[in-house]
Every structure is written in structure tokens, then in C-alpha cells.
Chain A
Amino acid sequence: MSRPSRGYRVFQSANAVVHTLVVAVTLYPFVNIVARSFSGERQIRAGKVSLWPEGFNLTTYKIVFKDSMFWRNYGNTVLYTVVSTAVAMVLTTCYAYVLSKRHLRGRTVLVGIAVFTMFFTGGLIPNYVLITSLGLKNSIWAIALPNAISVFNLLVMKAFFENMPSDLEEAAQIDGLSTYGILLKVVLPLSKAVVATMALFYSVSFWNSWFSALLYLDDAERMPVTVYLRNLILGSTGGTNAGAATDQLSQVGANIQAVAILLTALPVLCVYPFVQRYFVKGVMLGAVKG
């Protein structure tokens, strides 16, 4: 490596500044929201809260924790995420496994059926009309079924299965295992990494989803917590079912959004450091292998 020139050293310092800025701009909102969630109402209004809570109090946390609707919706999110992810994993794994068999007659068509939907979709209204007339409205299936296969995840899994040595499967076949047996007892145990990654992809997207719930669920009690948060942000619910006193109410107005944002994001923020690299790997696999 040649000695860095002066210009390059200047560039490196500038680059360091840029990266510091990127990190600061990304993280600041989170820190600020944490600080707000613990702050007093007057201090927030006066714009005094930046990186550290001012006028520390937990009133809003107490109110949100006492709000039965919040917990019910939180529970709904957990339920929807688990069920939808399970359905999605079964369908995606089955189809990816079928598509990975190069000798299969009609494979091109089967792949085409899936890939075409990446470029053209039915659109909001026909989907809405369909779900309504299938009678799925107000049930968990309106959320789980229409999103059961993400073509991107499907292609990542297919690429993984294709790269698996075929000897093992052939040996298992000779030993008398059926296709189902091979998939369950040979292929899946060897694919724990990709299965776990795909389950993560799906569960994060179901955890974060809100629009299908808004479209297809009518009852506030059935909503996931993301819709609770959305209503809070739009100001259509005060989150005041807990029967708060007036001074508590103004406290709530100032930082209840911060508290709800934090509590909704919390699970993702907690697992994020551990799962982030799997996501990156998954995306690269999908990109490189396609």
C-alpha cells in the first residue's frame, strides 16, 4: 500500500465525521424518545428534553400499563405473529423444496407462477373485495393467509435447498424414506440456519404489520398493538381508559406516544443485536443466488 497522500488523510477525517453524523442521526431519535417517555409534561412542552429525562416521572408508564386495551392488543400482536409465521413457514418451505428439485417436470411454470406476482399484483380493491367475500374479515386468517408466501423468502429458501448435497437424500430414498420423510427427517434438520432466518424474516414483518389489520379487522379489541399506536399518533384514542385525573391527562398527552412507541418497538430492539447478521446473510443469499 502506498503512503496515503495529504488529500486522502483529509478525506479520511471528513469520512469519520460523516459516519459519526450517520450514527448520531440514526440513534438520536431513539435516545430522545426514551428520555421523553420518562420526562415531565412541562419540560417536554418547553423543549428541554434532549438526551436525558427532565422532571423524571413514570406517570405515563403507569397509565399505559393499566390500560387493558394496550395489553390486549399487545397479546393480539404476539398471537398474530406466531400463527401467521407458522402458516407462512409451512407453505414457504413446502414450495421452496418442490422448486429446488431440478428434475421436476413443470418446475419452470411453478417458479413462474410465484415470480410473476413480484411484478404485477391485484391491487388494493380487488384484494379487499376478495377477503371480504371469502368471509375472512374480522378473523386472524385475513392477516395470516394473504401474506403466507413472500416470494423473496421463497427464492432464498429455494437457493439454499438447491445447494444441498443430493447424496444424502438419495441415500435416504434407498433406505425407503418417502419424499415427506426425506423433507422432515433429512432436509429440514440440515437446514436449521435457513429455516431460523426465514422464521425471523416473517415474524419481524408480521410483528410490524398494521395495514391488513386496519383493513380487515373492525373491532378495537382484535387490533394488533401497531394499530393501537397508529390511533394514538392520529389522536383518535387518548389511551385514557384508565380513568386518569386531569393533571395526569396532560402528562399523558405530552409523552404517551413516546411510551407506546418504545413498548411496541421493544421486542425488535431487544433481539436486533442478535439477529441482525442473519438478516444480512439472508438478503445477500437472496441477492447473489436468486
Chain B
Amino acid sequence: MTSPTVTGEAPGATAAPAEPPPPKRRGTPKARRTWRQALRRDWQLYSLAVLPIAFFLVFRYLPMIGNVIAFRRFVPGGSVFGEEWVGLRYVHMFWNDPTFWQVFRNTLWLGGLTLVFCFPAPIVLALLLNEVRRSAVKRFVQSVSYLPHFLSIVIVAGITMQMLATDGPVNHVLGWFGHDPIRFIQEPEWFRTVYVGSEIWQTAGWGTILYLAALTTIDEDLYEAARIDGANRWQQTWHVTLPGIRPTMITLLILNIGTFMAVGFEKVLLLYNPLTYQTSDVISTYVYRTGVESSSFSYAAAIGLFEAVIGLVLITSSNFLSRRTVGTSLW
């Protein structure tokens, strides 16, 4: 699906030899083409790749290596990679930091709720849209539901706050039922609901695109056969439609699990405030505050690295599991 056939575990960034050719490159005349010949023939193509590769090296791989400051003492203005080795000092520090465990729990909560509610939403919407026979209606509903995806997170956060303000529409409706206004944005117990709700509002419509595309590829004959076997609508959905979009579902599920730890950092940063830290503060926002705002770079880098490693482990293991169990995988 979104990922190509290449393996993800490409080594560092140096011009290592391509995987397919035999181990010995030089002095094997029968190898497709030697590097010298390739360079002579395609030097113009390679030259086009120079700037993009420089981009990846500097802005993607250098920061990966830069993570060593998690194990080195960093002095602002000093080397990007820190000044001296301090071992696991910063790891011990966050391990014994109660705030860290609080934000860790919050991250799991928000990530889990997002997975449980935001992942199925587009599937349900796509299945329902698929049952709409009038294509004009279908197109209209789709166009409208994509809309929030195109707006800046700042705007979505702004709209969320306006809707949930004490004088906003939601509290207005609550007023009809004689309910006192709820201060959604200030109360920690509401943060998760607010976050997940705004996430669904923003992403559900856009998420249907891939599922609707997958639905069109299901063979009509399968429905025909199911009908002849006496399957009703619901059984057709259960036995034909859902298995038909299963590869799409699993691919997106793996991708979702991969971003599990990195729960909508920007949105949390916009929606939270010190009153709701108790439930809203997640690893990435804590990293932002300790690192950028309080300049504890090494400490924050250690936490960030921990988060990234969990993410990588989650995505590789779910990929492995799904390849073993259902035969679909990203790579």
C-alpha cells in the first residue's frame, strides 16, 4: 500500500552497494554494470539526486545520530552531539521522574482511545457511504466530510474551543436540557473526550478515501454468488465486503499503531493548558516543554528517544504479527 516494496531497514546513508548484486562488485565483469560504467552513463541522473540526498542526510539522518546527546552532556552553543559521555544518566533521571510516568500513562490512554475510536470511524462511514445509491448525494457527503482535513490544526483547535466555550453551541444545547455549562477546556476529566472528538471530526471523512477505493475493487460476482446462496444484506457485508477491504484495514492499522506513541502532538499542544496537564500532558509535549522551553536538551532527547524506540518496536512487531497471521504487511 502506501509503502513500496523496498525494505525499511536500509542501512545508514552512505553510498553502500545495492542489495541485489552479488557481494563482490569490483572485478566481476559479469555483474550487470560496474559502478564506474553506471556513473559514466548516468552521471546526470546521479547529479540530480545530490541535493535531495544532502537533504536526507542533513535533516533526517543527522538528527537520528543527534540522539546521542541523550547519552552525552549537551552544552548550548557547543557541539550538536554533546560534550562528554554521561552514560544512562538521563535515562535514570526520567525513569525516576514521577511526571514522566504520568505523561507516559496519558500517552497510552490517548493513543489507545484514538486507536479504538478514530481508526474504525472511517471504516463505518465508508461502509455507510457505499450503501448510498444516489451518486450525487454520495459525492456531496464525501466532499463535506473531507473539508476539516484541509484546515490547519490551529484552526481546528480554535473551532473546537469556540464550540466548547461556556457560551458556545454545545453548552447552549446542554442548557436546553437544564444542564449547567461545562468548562470542557479547563476540566481534566473532559480532555480525552474533547481530543478524540475533535480528532474524529477532523479525520474521519478523509480516512474514507482509501476504504472507498478498496470497496470499488471488490468483485461484483462475489455479491451475486452470496445472494444466490441466500445471504442477506448484512451477511453480504460481513462475508464479502469486510474481507474485501481487510488488506486496507490492516495496512492502516499497522500505520496507526506505528504512530501510537506520537499522539497528535500539535493538537495536544494547542488544546491543553496547565489546568488539564493531569490528563492532557503526553510524552511529546513534555519533551517540548523540558527541552525547548526549559533548555534541558539532553534530558528531553532521552525521553524523545525512548518514545521513538517504542514506536519503532510497535510498528515492526505489528507488521511481523500481521504478516504471520493474515499475510498482509508493509514490507
Q: How far, in angstroms, from A105 to B1 measured CA to CA in the complex?
A: 25
Minimal Cβ-Cβ distance residue in B for A271: B150
A208 within 8 A of B: yes
Q: Does B56 lie at the interface of the complex (its beta carbon under 8 Å from any beta carbon of A)?
A: yes
Alpha-carbon distance between A235 and B271 when the two chains are bound, in angstroms: 13
Nearest-Cβ distance from residue A9 to partner chain B, whole angstroms: 11
B36 nearest CB across to chain A (Å)? 10
Tell me the bound Cα distance from A208 to B267 in angstroms.
13
Contact B131 A283 (CB under 8 A): no
Whole-angstrom distance between the alpha carbons of A200 and B163 in the complex? 29
| Complex CA distance for A113 and B7, rounded to whole angstroms | 10
Q: Is A249 an interface residue, CB under 8 A from the partner?
A: no
CB contacts under 8 Å to A, within B138-165, are 140-141, 143-148, 150-155, 157-159, 161-163
Bound CA–CA A110/B45 (angstroms): 12
Distance between Cα atoms of A272 and B149 in the complex (Å) = 11
Give the residues in chain B near A279, CB-CB below 8 Å.
146, 150
Which residues of A are in contact with B by a Cβ distance under 8 Å? 2, 5, 7-8, 11-12, 15, 18-19, 22-23, 25-30, 32-33, 36, 44-47, 50, 90-92, 94-95, 97-98, 101, 104-130, 133-134, 145-146, 148-149, 152, 155, 178-180, 183, 204, 207-211, 215, 226-227, 229-230, 233, 257-258, 260-261, 264-265, 268, 272-273, 276, 279-280, 283-284, 286-288, 290
Determine which of A94, A178, A208, A261 lies in contact with B158 in the assembled complex, contact meaning CB atoms within 8 Å.
A261
Q: A105 touches which one: B9, B42, B213 (CB < 8 A)?
A: B42
Q: Please determine whether B6 and A105 come into contact, CB atoms closer than 8 angstroms.
A: no
Docked pose: A95 CA to B4 CA in angstroms: 15
- What residues on B are CB-neighbors of A19 within 8 Å? 128-129, 132, 137, 141
Chain B residues, Cβ within 8 Å of A114: 56
Residue of A whose beta carbon sits closest to that of B44: A179
Q: Which of B18, B61, B291 contacts A107 (CB 8 A)?
A: B18
- Contact across chains for A110 and B69 when beta carbons are under 8 A apart: no
Residues of B within 8 A of A183 (CB): 48
Contact partners of B225 in chain A: CB under 8 A: none
Contacts of A112 in B (CB 8 A): 6-10
B263 proximity list for chain A (CB < 8 A): none
Q: Which residue of B lies closest to A146 (CB)?
A: B59
Scoring B residues 28 to 42 as 1 if CB is less than 8 Å from chain A, else 0, what string do you get?
A: 000011010010001
